[in-house]
Structure 1
Amino acid sequence: MRIDVKRFKVVNSEGNVTMFLTRNALRNCFSLARQVNQLRASISIGPQQHHGTFYELRTYQIKPEHNTAFLELVNEKIHLRTAHSELLGFWTVEYGGYNQVFHIWKYDSYAHKAAVRAAVASDPQWMEQCISKVLPMLTSQDLEAAYLIPWCKIEKPPKKGVYELVTFQMKPGGPAVWGKAFQAAVSAHAKTGYSHLVGAFHSEFGPLNRVHVLWWYESPDHRAAVRHTAHQDARVVAAVRESVSYLESQRNKLLFPTSFSPLQ
């Protein structure tokens, strides 16, 4: 027996037939529903990372009496470490965390990171000449793994200067919730020429829903003047006002690049 149904009934909650659909029309309805679901999924997860490259953001707290010795030793021995993986930048913290250093390392994947870690641990020169001497100088080490936000790429500054690291603790939900407003706020500063955006990073491991934005300025006074001007710009004010509704807290640090930092 073969059943050839050419029309399908659409019945409401009371059991009444409201319309008939042909087989093609029903197929089109299902196709539309799938497209809507895909769109909802895309909106819910937001922009995605399309490659494995990630960055380690490291903050070391140094014992005050060892601050100078730490920097001298790392300056002398850092080449042993950069032989294994790429250092993006290394800074001392001037304000927002005294006796601290902040550095960023780049990795192609987590497998790459694991291989580098194994290689570094088995490097006798690095372990004996630097690590064994550095560790007693520290009181803490903080480490985060982060991706560049998909709409951002690393932009090296035009010349030597100072950096501001602004850390935003966003409301849970990820870029799908706050991404558009956050991008508008960052762009309002960068595209108007007030600030030079070096990179924006979204945490993957460590405190979640955290975004770090790294800015460059010619000097601390340049940064102060730019901030004063930007806060009188209606475009910046409007974008920031929208973004802060998704913000739980924020803090910043003024960073000075070390002599051996690739980012100057």
Structure 2
Amino acid sequence: MLALRSSLSRVLAARPAALQVCSSFASGPRQCDGTFYEFRSYYLKPSKMNEFLENMKKYIHLRTAHSELIGYWSIEFGGRTNRVFHIWKYDNFAHRAEVRKALAKDKEWQEQFLIPNLLHMEKQVCDITYLVPWCKIEKPPKEGVYELVTFQMKPGGPALWADAFQKAVNSHVNLQYNKLIGVFHTEYGELNRVHVLWWNESPDSRAAGRHQSHEDPRVVAAVRESANYLESQQNMLLIPASFSPLK
């Protein structure tokens, strides 16, 4: 009996150390609350794009009665066109489940918008993302255009590439080459993927800022370091819908 107690004591005494060792394998810093952002893309039939957006404008109030819309855009360049992209905010997964349940019971939303417009959709993609811990969603100074830059980073998570990536983003922000709206990392979808949402006054102002930043040695050095962890990158120019909160 004494031998058993002695063995148990040694195991319990070792547990904190074991937990401490395991914690070193965490993938990186995490936000403090459960708030997340759902990235939704609808791929539409080319002939139905304008009709879909007009219908959404007419009935968007039925959808936003259930949860917060961050922004709604159409894709102009950088990916398949005839596509809309929108971001929705949820407090946690229970909140999203409640919203989806309520929408399924909302006859006006179902009958006036969803069912008639399902025929216009060819494909739907949904990803769950979190804001990175060092960022919050900002508001643009006025109406403009947006750029969503999606980076596929090497496996390993933020513990591997977060510091270099943050320096690269901040090199543009601190030197005022772009207006940062938000930085998100994917939780459900392609992992090790980071989305950076930028605002610009116009496509031409974006082009001018990009050319200037590429000639700035401070930006070049920061981007070069981050590129060591990069596998691929996609840039999309987004045009905000008339009913989008972010314009």
Does 2:89 align with 1:106? yes
Per the alignment, residue 55 of structure 2 pairs with: 73
User: Considering only aligned residues, what root-mean-square deviation do their CA atoms show, in Å?
Assistant: 1.9
In structure 1, what is the Cα distance between the partners aligned to 2:109 and 2:203? 35
Unaligned runs of 5+ in 1: 1-29
One-letter amino acid of the structure 2 residue matched with residue 192 of structure 1: L
Does 2:149 align with 1:175? no
Does 2:167 align with 1:184? yes
In structure 2, what is the Cα distance between the partners aligned to 1:191 and 1:92? 29
Deviation at 1:142, TM superposition (A): 0.6
Unaligned runs of 5+ in 2: 1-12
In structure 1, what is the Cα distance between the partners aligned to 2:87 and 2:186? 13
Q: How do 1:1-264 residues align onto structure 2 when only pairs under 5 Å count? A: 38=20, 41=23, 44-96=26-78, 97-264=80-247
Deviation at 1:73, TM superposition (A): 0.4
In structure 1, what is the Cα distance between the partners aligned to 2:21 and 2:179? 34
Aligned length: 233
Deviation at 1:49, TM superposition (A): 2.1
TM-score of the superposed pair, with normalisation by structure 1: 0.85
Deviation at 1:43, TM superposition (A): 7.3
Q: Secondary structure at 1:45's aligned position in 2? A: coil
Deviation at 1:40, TM superposition (A): 8.3
Deviation at 1:257, TM superposition (A): 0.5
Per the alignment, residue 24 of structure 1 pairs with: none
Query: Does the C-alpha gap of structure 1 residues 115 and 237 become closer, same or farther in structure 2, counting only changes over 3 Å?
Result: same
TM-score of the superposed pair, with normalisation by structure 2: 0.90
Deviation at 1:207, TM superposition (A): 1.1
One-letter amino acid of the structure 1 residue matched with residue 58 of structure 2: E
| Bigger relative contact order (CA 8 A; separation at least 6) | 2
In structure 1, what is the Cα distance between the partners aligned to 2:176 and 2:55? 38
In structure 1, what is the Cα distance between the partners aligned to 2:22 and 2:123? 43
Q: Secondary structure at 2:219's aligned position in 1? A: helix
In structure 2, what is the Cα distance between the partners aligned to 1:71 and 1:201? 26
In structure 1, what is the Cα distance between the partners aligned to 2:22 and 2:163? 16
Deviation at 1:169, TM superposition (A): 0.6
